[in-house]
Homo-oligomer: A and B are copies of this chain.
Amino acid sequence: MVPVLWAGFSLYNGGGMNGTSQMMDFLEEPLPGVGTYEDFNTIDWVREKSRDRDRHREIASKSKESTWALIQSVSDAFSGWLLMLLIGLLAGSLAGLIDISAHWMTDLKEGLCLSGFWFNHEHCCWNSNETTFEDRDKCPEWESWSQLIIGHGEGAFAYILNYFMYVLWALVFSLLAVLLVRGFAPYACGSGIPEIKTILSGFIIRGYLGKWTLIIKTVTLVLAVSSGLSLGKEGPLVHVACCCGNILCHLFTKYRKNEAKRREVLSAAAAAGVSVAFGAPIGGVLFSLEEVSYYFPLKTLWRSFFAALVAAFTLRSINPFGNSRLVLFYVEFHTPWHLLELVPFILLGIFGGLWGSFFIRSNIAWCRRRKTTKLGKYPVLEVLVVTAVTAVLAFPNEYTRMSTSELISELFNDCGLLDFSKLCEYVNDFNSTTGDVLPDRAAGPGVYTAMWQLALALILKVFITIFTFGMKVPSGLFIPSMAVGAIVGRLLGVGMEQLAYYHHDWTIFSGWCSQGADCITPGLYAMVGAAACLGGVTRMTVSLVVIMFELTGGLEYIVPLMAAAMTSKWVADAIGREGIYDAHIRLNGYPFLEAKEEFSHKTLAMDVMRPRRNDPVLTVITQDSMTVEDVEAIINETTYSGYPVVVSRESQRLVGFVLRRDLIISIENARKKQDGIVSTSIIYFTDHSPPLPPTSPSMLKLRSILDLSPFTVTDQTPMEIVVDIFRKLGLRQCLVTHNG
């Protein structure tokens, strides 16, 4: 008779992952409470879901009895929606707060508003009467540091003073940020998306979504963004929104007590986070679906959508950009694109893919070096050095001095007649202007200068971002990636435009790009480039295109975006399969079962289970013959997280499965509270215990903690089916049987 074999592999820990063993050791420490989880442990989705169903059924059956119970049942049903509303409101408000503060503090590096120090540069000059339309940025109320300190803003000394103040403020902000993170909430660093993915897949990291993390992350995010480091606030905003979701869960018993339900809320909160980050509610929901979530039922889809909408509208009511626009980068293009332009768009896609995988490789290599060498011991110094380098190199170049989101806005912009930025300094020929449509024009000197500056900015951004992402400050990756892509796109776009202007008689241009026609929009190229680079780094496709679509609001431009995002994903996937978040998950050794990755080994369950064929026989507990002492010995000798219960040592027929943690707690409890439980008491897992001889010690019945329906597969099951079961049902363990 072949024994029941047990596959003691928690698959979260098994399927090709490594580096998690030290975390799984936390399992040993017992904590009170049967059916709860320990830190750094995975939850049992099946148990959580069936617990929720039990709860739901109980409420439903009670609701027929009295009116009060009926009201409770209705309020229970609507508590999910209420929770979404609260999350949306809170996430939207926090995002507004972060936007406003970061804007103000970014400008603080350059100067101060005399009419009220709480105004940022733009606001300050809006309120001024002396602002002309052309020089919206200049007004007497706004004084640069040199004006404030030495009284004038001209000359080399003033420039150096401004330079010095800029670097100083950057250092102060980043120092504050890193000290706050280290001192109060170590989890507040980074983008948070890798960890949220892991948590949503069922892992527990206590405190990662707690109130301290929320407060510190909000504050330090503002500081980090204002310090001018090459990072964005979009990823961390997802973390902030998830913290809101987790904290608000405590208001409702339904969500506080059930880890699976809480993860549904967190998925929705992630959607709200992206929604406020870009002003793209639909894109946010798809981002949560495509990139972050693990378990995403349809109900969650609706709720995510609701939360994302509420958050977006809260943000719009706060109106942090002062333009009543929901979206971060509002663009309006006037010219349709031509089919031939797909060639440069696909080139941008290839660039995005190449840059994406280059970035991932270098960043992971650098982070690994930080983990393994002495570098990791001086996080504060590291942040200060990177900030100093960034600030020193950024100040002289106009395009790196401005905040990265402003830069992207400017790159996306379609030059109109009323634009006076350097990028729009074309040689104007007012005679040929008809209405709103501007023909392609020759580039003026401003455009050429801008091109050089942008090229320099590109080099800076490409390299500094590698060192920035992963430091001990909150840092998002969306904005720097988009900036890199937008710069390349704009450069290519302007190049194409000039090519078409000077060579409109070439065959490829004739027909659609005749002289005086407005045929190429460099802003669109910037946008496509941004999408390509973001796609290369994160490997998003649909959600990315939808986010970009929500920025422009025109279906017209979906095809270029789609082409670039797809090419970028294909190119990047050909070089390395992992996106940046998955790479960081693996780097940090979180247990995460990648749902997208195909399990390609042709193995059977038999081959991966433990103990192997030649190992000592499996530790099992019999249902009616072992004493407390025996069981305790097994618990002490082994480290498995649970034991199969069998009919008897000889027949080895499987009855059920008992968790180590539950067993320890129950025995301890019984010893304390139940009379007559001694080491020789026999533990019964059966329904009916046999009559005992009066001399023997009283028995311990533990049927209640026995899982009577453990998941079993036969030893001949292909491993990929086992992995599929683990993924889809969210199991913690699975027993392997042979001939029953």
Q: Which residues of A contact B (CB under 8 A)?
A: 4, 46, 49-50, 53-54, 56-57, 60, 279, 281-282, 285, 289-290, 298-299, 301-302, 305-306, 309, 312-313, 326-327, 541-542, 545-546, 549-550, 553-555, 558-559, 562, 566, 595-596, 598, 600, 602, 605, 647, 652-656, 708-714, 716-718, 720-721, 724-725, 728-729, 737, 739-740
What distance in Å separates the Cβ of A386 from its nearest Cβ neighbour in chain B? Answer: 35
Our pick among B309, B711, B712 for the contact of A558 (Cβ within 8 Å) is B309
A718 touches B709 (CB 8 A): yes
Name A725's closest neighbour in chain B (CB-CB): B729
Contacts of A301 in B (CB 8 A): 289-290, 542
Residue in chain B with minimal CB distance to A552: B553
**A279: nearest chain-B partner, CB-CB:** B555
A596 / chain B contacts, CB cutoff of 8 Å: 298-299
The residue among A60, A555, A718 with the most chain B CB atoms within 10 A of its own CB is A555
- Among B285, B562, B654, B729, the residue within 8 A (CB) of A724 is B729
Q: In the complex, are the beta carbons of A309 and B724 less than 8 A apart?
A: no
Specify which of B60, B326, B558, B712 is in contact with A281 (CB 8 Å cutoff): B558
Are B720 and A709 in contact, with the CB atoms below 8 A?
Answer: no
Chain B residue numbers with a CB within 8 Å of A4 are 740
* Contact partners of A713 in chain B: CB under 8 A: 709, 711-712
- In the complex, chain B residues whose CB is within 8 Å of the CB of A711: 713
Whether A654 lies near B729 (C-beta < 8 A) is no
Cβ contact within 8 Å between B50 and A718: yes
Chain B residue nearest in CB terms to A720? B53
Instruction: Pick the contact of A717: B285, B299, B708 (CB < 8 A).
Output: B708
- Name 25 A/B residue pairs within 8 A (Cβ), A-sorted: A46-B724, A49-B724, A50-B718, A50-B720, A57-B600, A60-B600, A285-B542, A289-B301, A290-B298, A298-B596, A302-B541, A302-B542, A305-B545, A306-B562, A306-B566, A309-B558, A309-B559, A309-B562, A326-B555, A553-B553, A647-B740, A653-B739, A654-B739, A709-B718, A740-B740
Considering only CB atoms, which chain B residue lies closest to A553 in the complex? B553
Which residues of the other chain, B, contact A550 by a CB distance below 8 angstroms?
A: 555
State whether A57 and B602 are in contact (beta carbons under 8 Å apart), knowing that A562-B309, A708-B717 are contacts in the complex: yes
The SS class assigned to the A binding surface is helix
Cα A306 to Cα B711 with chains together (Å) = 38
Distance in Å: Cβ of A613 to nearest Cβ of chain B: 15
Contact of A712 among B282, B712, B721 (CB under 8 A): B712
Question: Could you tell me the distance in whole angstroms from the C-beta of A282 to the nearest C-beta in chain B?
Answer: 6
Taking CB atoms, residues of chain B closer than 8 Å to A566 are 302, 306
Instruction: Please tell me which one of the listed residues B50, B302, B312 contacts residue A721 in the complex, with CB atoms under 8 A apart.
Output: B50
Output the least CB separation between A557 and chain B (Å): 12
Q: How many copies make up the complex?
A: 2
- Inter-chain contacts of A299 with B (CB < 8 A): 596
Task: A299 to B566: give the CA distance in the assembly, Å.
Answer: 12
Q: Which of B49, B656, B725 contacts A714 (CB 8 A)?
A: B656
Contact between B709 and A714, CB atoms less than 8 A apart: yes
Docked Cα-Cα span, A109 to B267, in Å, equals: 53
Closest to A327 in B: B555
* A81 smallest CB distance to B (angstroms): 9
Contacts of A554 in B (CB 8 A): 553
Chain B residues closer than 8 Å to A724, beta-carbon distance = 46, 49, 729
Q: Please provide the 3 A-B residue pairs with the shortest distance between their CB atoms, ordered closest to farther.
A: A740-B740, A708-B716, A709-B717
Let me know if B709 and A46 touch, CB within 8 A.
no
B contact residues around A562 at 8 Å (CB): 305-306, 309
Instruction: Report how far A53 CA is from B56 CA in the complex, Å.
Output: 39
Residues of B within 8 A of A56 (CB): 598
| Known A302-B566, A313-B559; further 13 A-B contacts with Cβ < 8 A | A57-B602, A281-B555, A282-B282, A290-B298, A301-B542, A302-B541, A306-B566, A327-B555, A647-B740, A709-B714, A712-B714, A724-B729, A737-B740
**Chain B residues with CB under 8 A of A545:** 305
A553–B555 CA distance with the chains assembled, in angstroms: 8
User: B555–A312 contact, CB under 8 A?
Assistant: yes
Q: Which of B46, B60, B598, B716 contacts A53 (CB 8 A)?
A: B598
- In the complex, A721 Cα to B54 Cα: how many Å? 12
Q: Compute how far the CA of A306 lies from the CA of B289 in the bound complex, rounded to whole angstroms.
A: 17
Bound CA span A301–B54, Å: 33
Tell me the bound Cα distance from A740 to B729 in angstroms.
22
Which B residue's beta carbon lies closest to that of A737? Answer: B740
A652-B596 Cα distance, complex, nearest whole Å: 39
Q: Which residues from chain B contact A60 at a C-beta distance below 8 Å?
A: 600
Q: Which residue of B lies closest to A4 (CB)?
A: B740
CB distance from A577 to the nearest CB of B (A): 13
In the assembled complex, the Cα of A728 lies from the Cα of B296 at a distance in Å of: 13
Min CB distance A693 to B, Å, is: 26
Given contacts A282-B282, A558-B309, A720-B53, contact A740 B708 (CB under 8 A): no
In this complex, which of A53, A56, A605, A655 has the most chain B Cβ atoms within 10 angstroms of its Cβ? A53
CB of A714 within 8 A of CB of B721, answer no
Q: What residues on B are CB-neighbors of A549 within 8 Å? A: 282
